[in-house]
Amino acid sequence: MSTTGTAVLADVMVPGATLPEWSIPLTPTVIVSTAIATRDFQDVHHDRDVAQAAGSKDVFMNILTSTAYVERYVNDWVREQTGDGAVVRGIAIRLGAPAYPYDTLTFTGSVESVEDGVAVLKVTGSVSLGDHVIGTVKVAVA
C-alpha cells in the first residue's frame, strides 16, 4: 500500500463508517462456475437434481465463493478510497440462509473498530431468505 493510500485509509477507517451497498445477481452460471473455479466439485453446487434430492430448493453457493465475495467487497471499497488494494489480515465468516440462483446477494458493511493499525469491519451478505453470510474482515490500516 502506498504512503498516500495509507494516510487516506486511516482517515476513512473510523468506527461507525459504513461501506456502500453492493449487490450481485445470482445466476445458475455464477453458482456453478464459482464452485468449479474454487475446485469444489460437491454435486449440490452444480447439479440441480442432486441438490433437490438432498432436500435443497436448487444448487447453492459454496462457502469458498461466499468468502471470496466478502473479501472482494472490502477490497473494492478500500481501492475506491485509496487507489490501492486492502492488506487483509484475516476473515472470519458464518453462513446462514442458502444463496440460490435467481436471487440477489446484497452486501453491507461497517467499520467496527480500529486498534494497533488494524481495522475490523463487519460484513453481511443477505439474500431474500435472510442473511447468507455474516463475518468480520481485518484490514491493515498502517
Residues 6 or more apart from 121 whose CB is under 8 A from it? 19, 74, 109, 110, 111, 112, 136, 137, 138, 139
Cell numbers for 63: 462457502
What's the CATH code of the domain at 125?
3.10.129.10
Amino acid present at 135: G
Q: For residue range 16-35, list pLDDT tens digits in order.
A: 999 999 999 999 999 999 99
Whole-structure pTM value: 0.91
Range of the domain at 45: 3-140
| Angle CA 55–34–78, to nearest 5 | 120
Give tens-digit pLDDT for 53-70: 999 999 999 999 999 999
pLDDT tens sequence across 87-113: 999 999 999 999 999 999 999 999 999
Name the residue with cell 476473515. Answer: 91
Q: What is the total count of domains within the chain?
A: 1
